[in-house]
Chain A
């Protein structure tokens, strides 16, 4: 099975900061990688698919990059509503899908 390792697990930042979250896959997954945002008590929300394509309606301050085994999610200028937990997900095959362990982004 493909493992995903996210870093950092916890991130403290201020409104207006630029933040980057990393996700490393244990084997090559091409660009079958998605990023989600989850707020407490809510379902996850798709932000980015195919590693770098922004889902419709997602603000342009979010961006994704990477291919192969190394991926990043960047938020260019943090807004108050961005404080949440972020997960990467690999969908290299419908037969086995995995999530990273999550990155909790909190207000400094």
Chain B
């Protein structure tokens, strides 16, 4: 079964750090771009970051640049999101998602999603 399972969410103080993990199974992980998408309480979806199959390209939404770092370990079939200098507006459910394979993989959308992990930043 194709599956993504996130972990690492929790309650953290403003200015603190948290590392999210996403474990993949059931597909050839090293062949896919991976993404993180978040959803603040009662709000819509927001793309956060992407990482290429081999980790050589990484992209971020402007609001997290310089604070968040996406990484992956293909041997462990996992993708990570290191979140530093957390703010109240980072409070959200964070989903990892599979985002296509190859040069035109973005054509295919995000076809596999995890169940999400909740991050709450307190003041």
Contact = CB atoms under 8 A, between A and B. Distances in A.
Interface residues of A, number: 28
Interface string B108-122: 111101111000000
B1 interface: no
A83 interface: no
Most buried by B among A43, A45, A49, A95: A43
Contacts of A100: 44
Nearest to B114: A43
Interface string B47-86: 1001010000101011000000000000000000000000
Contact of B46 (A1, A48, A99): A99
A32 B106 contact: yes
Interface in A15-70: 31-32, 34, 36, 38, 43-46, 48-50, 55
Interface in B22-66: 33, 35, 37, 44-47, 50, 52, 57, 59, 61-62
B107 A99 contact: no
Contact of A94 (B33, B44, B114, B115): B33
A100 B45 CA distance: 8
Given A43-B115, A94-B57, A97-B35, A89 B44 contact: no
Interface SS, A side: strand
Nearest to B111: A46
Nearest to B49: A97
Residue of B45, B95, B99 with most partner-chain A CB within 10 A: B45
Contacts of B113: 43-45
A96 B57 CA distance: 12
A97 B94 CA distance: 16
Given A48-B109, A89-B45, A91-B107, 11 more contacts: A43-B113, A45-B113, A49-B107, A89-B47, A91-B100, A93-B106, A94-B99, A94-B106, A95-B50, A97-B47, A99-B44
Interface of A: 1, 31-32, 34, 36, 38, 43-46, 48-50, 55, 87, 89, 91-102
